[in-house]
Amino acid sequence: MSELTKPLTSDKGGGLPRVVIVGAGFGGLHAAKALRKLPVDVTVIDRRNHFTFQPLLYQVALAVLSPADIAQPIRGILRRQTNTEVLMDEVVGIDVQARRVGLASGMQFAYDYLVIATGATHSYFGKNQWAPFAPGLKSIEDAIEIRRRVLLAFELAERQMLEHGWHPPLNFVVIGGGPTGVELAGAISDIAKLYMRHDFRHIDPTKARVLLLDNGPRLLAAYPPDLSAKAERELFDLGVEVHTGSNVTNVGPGWVEANNQRIEGAVILWAAGVQASPLGKMLGAPVDKRGCVLVDNNLNPPGLPEVFVLGDLAHFEQDGHQIPGVAQPAMQMGDYVGKAIAADLAQQPRPAFRYFDKGDMATVGRMAAVADVKWPFKAHLSGFPAWVTWMVVHIFFLIGYRNRLAVISQWIWNYFMFTRSARLITGDQRLPGWQDQIDAGPSPQEEDRTAAVR
């Protein structure tokens, strides 16, 4: 690998084992923290400067929370951990023989242990040309872009109503009925029906339609069937139109084709599939069809005991099932890395990793959720009790007291005041009409209008 021919630049001396952690998500950060008291030198490499609390990302996308409420500078999280340094850079090559990683900056890092926890990104199942028309939700930038599109859709409808006395249907189409799709659909319904009620003079935002398309027979396929049914019922009560068995065959600007029907969408969001980060493949180890690295019960790829693969990037099977790509297993895997390395240092055999599943949950709008609780007791919760459980759990896992306080106070405020002050359009402020004119040249229709006006 030609990127890796450069001499090492980062040898700090000292001779302690060097642990390089790539990716500061739930898995990477938990691994770093689990190593804080061990005699090792830790380097955390991430291409962003902040950790993102992904389970609440949809609330940034729908203007409930601000980016800073759910993101935290990685340096801030690890500032007091003296055996750990943070580097903002991107890994572009791994040489497992020489035990080095190559970075986008040109630097190289030798490792004694390598922890890869770079997660997953959206998958359009080979149709990447759909991406500009139906953005997905994985980063703060994605959330800001979705917020921009959703808020601009209302602005555009108001303008069109004023101009023509008519506007195209204000449809919000969410593709994919997993937890993210369900949460997005519920939250869009909330914003339209509750929070925007008094804001417009020409349109009625409560008449916006929210369509949730899933190609399976039921929503939340990973949950028990009774909870899927409850989530559908709760979405129905919110006015969300759930279309299971919808096979999306094409997506274009402002439309989706599903089951040979064309659905117009003022905003289309993608929550249908994920694929592993490309770092899995750089290892040269076996991967599954989504690019996740097959790992043994020490979280190692075959033959690479010094490499750990965690979180969404790992394909780990337990009791015949692949464990899901959510925060809980990633955190437990991170913690496990600390135990495994401690065992090595003590020259003891490593324990085997075992995922302890406390359950799953997803919110459905402002006051409802479904929860498949497995610990400390077993229960299927729905509605308000599930929603309260969801809130408590998510506040608990947020990093930093300030964020917890900020999110709690923001939720209470939104809940009682029906206003959302995070409702900012930043970035490109142009309404879609102008954007077409400027970016893509006038469409035939636009040209007519322009000609008539100028």
**Sites for its own copies among residues 301-330 (CB under 8 A):** none
Long-range contacts of the stretch 387-390 (C-beta < 8 A, 24+):
387/363, 389/361, 390/361, 390/362, 390/363
Residue among 183, 232, 306, 446 flagged as catalytic: 183
Which of 98, 131, 345, 417 touches its own copies (CB under 8 A)? 417
Smaller CB distance to its own copies: residue 424 or 440? 424
Task: Specify whether the CB–CB gap between 380 and 371 falls below 8 A.
Answer: yes
**Sites for its own copies among residues 69-98 (CB under 8 A):** 69, 71-73, 75-76, 79-80, 85-89
Task: Specify whether the CB–CB gap between 152 and 425 falls below 8 A.
Answer: yes
90 is catalytic: no
**Sites for its own copies among residues 102-131 (CB under 8 A):** 102, 104-107
Which of 128, 129, 250, 409 touches its own copies (CB under 8 A)? 409
Count of CB atoms within 10 A of residue 220's CB?
25
Q: Both tokens of residue 371?
A: 């929860």
Smaller CB distance to its own copies: residue 79 or 281? 79
**Sites for its own copies among residues 250-269 (CB under 8 A):** none
> Distance (Å, rounded) from C-alpha 380 to C-alpha 360?
10
Quickly tell me which residue has 């493949």 as its tokens.
Answer: 281
Task: Specify whether the CB–CB gap between 154 and 200 falls below 8 A.
Answer: yes
Smaller CB distance to its own copies: residue 391 or 422? 422
The answer to whether residue 67 forms part of the interface with its own copies (CB under 8 A) is yes
Task: Specify whether the CB–CB gap between 187 and 181 falls below 8 A.
Answer: no
DSSP 116: E
- Nearest approach in angstroms of CB 206 to its own copies is 14
AA identity, residue 216: G
- Nearest approach in angstroms of CB 167 to its own copies is 13
**Sites for its own copies among residues 170-209 (CB under 8 A):** 198-202
Tell me the C-alpha to C-alpha distance, in Å, between residue 449 and each of 158, 437, 443: 18, 11, 10
Smaller CB distance to its own copies: residue 9 or 129? 9
**Sites for its own copies among residues 419-448 (CB under 8 A):** 419-427, 429-431, 433-434
Q: Both tokens of residue 214?
A: 């899933």
Q: Indicate the helix (H) or strand (E) that contains 94.
A: strand 91-95
Task: Specify whether the CB–CB gap between 80 and 53 falls below 8 A.
Answer: no
Provide the mask over 130-169, with x wherever binding to its own copies is found by CB under 8 A and - wherever it is not: ----------xx--x------x---x--xx--xxx-----
The answer to whether residue 48 forms part of the interface with its own copies (CB under 8 A) is yes
Smaller CB distance to its own copies: residue 124 or 200? 200
* Residues acting as catalytic residues: 183
